[in-house]
Amino acid sequence: MAVVTGGASGIGRALCLAFAREGMRVVIADLDGPGMAETAAQAGAAGARALAVPTDVSRLAEVQALADRAWRDFGAVHVLCNNAGVGVSGGLEAATHRDWEWVVGVNLWGVIHGLEAFVPRMIAQQQGGHIVNTASMAGLIASQGLGVYNTTKYAVVGLSETLSKDLRPYGIGVSVLCPMGVTTRIRQSARNRPAHLQNPTGPPGSAVELIGRYLTPEHVAERVLRAVRDNRLYVITHEEGLEPLRRRFERLARGIEESR
């Protein structure tokens, strides 16, 4: 049984459908009711039982209610995908407190809430399992104009790297998904921005153009499925990331040299 946050669209929907095709039951958690209904219908057509649970991942009580519902209806949770996320662009010097609250609330607190609500029960059920946290290449390379988003995704990478060590004794694997461009609705993230966190001055800077190819969510979900099966930590879907990663590592190595 798999639980997927952000399952109403994009990568989350593709993950739900990939699990459904594997014969798993899925719980879809999202803010977007019609989007969840569409994912559930497609999972049903693939022969899987699917349950949609309206959830705002930035609120701990809602994620705890999601976990209650998952265990009540399905009896066990084997895979948890903390995938819901939003993006905002613009220089850090211009980021508003509301930008921080919104993006950190969904992208980082959302993942933390997933851990708080699910990990103790996954350990207690003694059946192993797997947790997939969706970060981004923005969690490994800090592109200009994406500072708020980068901050949350670096944190999700660090959290996941540590979690994989912490949960190894319990037979619970961890993967962190770090894609570059994927053809989803992430660039229309503002559709999910709550009224109390809107900027009074309107939306910030224009969208940042990413380098590299845009992959489909289905391609990305297939790579995640393989990583879960093989119990691999890093799911880095774009080889275009290799050179910028090398350059970052070289800068870090130079930092050590210059700090001797």
The residues annotated as belonging to the active site are 149
CA distance 84 to 76: 21
Q: Stretches 31-39, 71-79, 116-124, 157-165: which one binds ligand NAD (CB under 6 A)? A: 31-39
Closer by beta carbon to ligand NAD, 90 or else 179: 179
Closer by beta carbon to ligand NAD, 89 or else 189: 189
CA distance 49 to 168: 29
Structure tokens at 157: 């990478």
**By the rule CB under 6 A, 83 interacts with ligand NAD:** yes
**By the rule CB under 6 A, 241 interacts with ligand NAD:** no
* Residue 212: how many other CB atoms lie within 10 Å: 15
Structure tokens at 170: 């319990």
- Map residue 55 onto helix, strand or coil: coil
Whether residue 240 contacts residue 215, with contact meaning beta carbons closer than 8 Å, is answered with no
**By the rule CB under 6 A, 99 interacts with ligand NAD:** no
**By the rule CB under 6 A, 56 interacts with ligand NAD:** yes
**By the rule CB under 6 A, 88 interacts with ligand NAD:** no
Q: Which of 17, 70, 176, 186 binds ligand NAD (CB under 6 A)?
A: 186
Q: Which residues, 6 or more positions from 239, have their beta carbon under 8 angstroms from its beta carbon?
A: none
* Interface with ligand NAD (CB under 6 A): 5-6, 8-12, 30-32, 35, 55-58, 83-87, 106, 134, 136, 179, 181-182, 184-186, 189, 192
